[in-house]
Structure 1
Amino acid sequence: MTLSHPPLALAPFELAGFDLAAFVAATLAEDLNGAPGAGGRDLTSESVIPADAVFTGVMDSRDAVVVAGLPIAAAFFRALDPDVEIELLVADGDSVKAGSDLLRLRGNARALLTAERSALNTVQHLTGIATMTRDYVRRIEGTGTILLDTRKTIPGLRVLEKYATRQGGAQNHRMGLWDAAMIKDNHVAVAGSVEEAVRRAVAAGVERIIVEVDRVDQVEPAIAAGATHLLLDNMEPAVLRGAVTLVGGRVPTEASGGVRLDTIRAIAETGVTYVSVGRLTQSAPAADVGLDFAAA
Structure 2
Amino acid sequence: MPQHKLSWEEDPHAPDGRRLVYTGTLDKTVQYFAKGMNFTYRYVLSLDRTFGTKLPNGSWTGLMGMIVREETDFGLGPFSLSPVRVAAADHTVPMWTGNMKMVSGLTGLQVDPWGFLLPLRSIVWTATLAAMLGVLAALKIFSSCLSKETLCQSGWPANTFSPVRVLLQQDVEWPTEWWWWERLVLGLWMLTTLVLTRSYAGNLMSLLAVRYLPQPFQTLKDVLDHPSVAMIWEKHSKSEQFLRDAESGMFKEVAELEQKGRLEFHTQSQFLESLSTLVRVGHHVLVIGDITIKSLVASYVSHTGKFSVRNNFFYRLTD
Common fold by TM > 0.5 = no
Between Structure 1 and Structure 2, which shows a larger proportion of helix residues?
2
Which of structures 1 and 2 has the bigger CA Rg?
2
Between the two structures, name the one with larger relative contact order (CA 8 Å, sep ≥ 6).
Answer: 2
Q: Please identify which structure carries the higher strand content.
A: 1
TM-score using structure 1 length: 0.29
